[in-house]
Amino acid sequence: MEYRITAELTLPAGMAELDGLQQQGAAALLSEWLDRVATVEGPEGVEITPYDHRLEVRSTGAVVELLVDAPALSFAENGAEALLQEILERTELLAEWRVGKCEVTVSDAELAEALEGGADEGVVSAGIGLPVEDVTAQRRRLLALSSRLRAFELDSFGPPLADPDARFLAAGALVDRASVLTEELIMDIMTLDEEAESLDKDEANWTADDSQGLFVLHDLPVRYRHHYDVIFAKKFLVASAVVYARLTGSPWLPPASTAESLALHILIENAKDLLVSFAAVDPDDVTAMFAVFESNAHSHHDHEWLYLEDLDSADPDDSSADPLGFLSRDAHSWFAPYPEAKDAPTHPYLIDDDD
């Protein structure tokens, strides 16, 4: 796919501005190298092919426009940056220059074609209700975040798809939503705390069942909302933070309790919505990618049982209707580690006094 890259080359800090003669010399050196370049190998061994360029040298540096062929936007930007950095390093007189901003800059029509495989801007806007430039900015932001998901390789999202950026975007969406969900849980705790202050001492404990303006707690299984009090919310914040932090490390440690499994489940659902609603990723691709990801990320799937509507009408005394025993358990029990994970590191705040 063809991309137009605009890159800024900047002078080293403290260097005086270039005079006219120095600008001509820098232009000659850069043009010579840019004219030589054929196919180059960028990050992850992916090849990009620059086949046209435009150069403008100023007193403070240079602006380079490259027309490149690359399999995806992320490869185009990263490959172009690596190419320009190599040119500077090989040019003794420019070795201390730096590559600044380096990103795809194309027209709205070209952006629509890149995002939708040939569709025009109207199709993209009609599909998710956002201008093409907003979708592109969102995709670029998620691509930049994708490298922070160190616990998983791209193969954890399944094989490559028609949209070559899709798996990178999925990784970035998980990192992005982990941060957002943490903030939202803090807000939920503050809301419960403030509303609980209005209770008389002899009134029942205030829970998510009594509140309307909650974010994450209202995404948990509805039938247990009367269990989600301030203490539960604080524990769930800690459990989710533990899971989300593991995403940025290696190797991956799967959820060690029902609460941690729920935290990962909510993260995945939020990441899916972000990709479809704001990054123009095909819903079928999103479903396929995260089906594979969940099989790699979860060691248990007991959290899925909590969302079953049939459980609402089940007899609590019928073990066949509730084989995991959730109907007879308090939601606070979800923080207990799975039997095989009882020796896993546990945050002290999640350990009951009885334990």
Dump pLDDT digits (tens) for 76-116: 888 888 889 888 988 888 989 999 888 876 544 555 555 55
Q: Return the structure tokens found at 198.
A: 């209005």
Q: According to the model, what pLDDT value does residue 108 have?
A: 45
Q: According to the model, what pLDDT value does residue 121 have?
A: 42
- Stretches where the chain sits below pLDDT 70 are 1, 38-46, 105-129, 199-204, 309-328, 353-355
**CA 346 – CA 349 distance, rounded (Å):** 8
Spell 105-114 as b/e; 16+ CB within 10 A means b. ebeeebbbbb
Q: According to the model, what pLDDT value does residue 195 have?
A: 85
Q: According to the model, what pLDDT value does residue 134 have?
A: 82
The contacts of residue 311 (CB under 8 Å, 6+ apart) are: 223, 305, 321, 322, 326, 327
Q: pLDDT for 1-38, tens place per residue?
A: 677 888 999 998 888 999 989 999 999 999 888 888 76
Q: Where in the chain is the domain with CATH 3.30.70.3190?
A: 2-105
CATH of domain 2-105: 3.30.70.3190
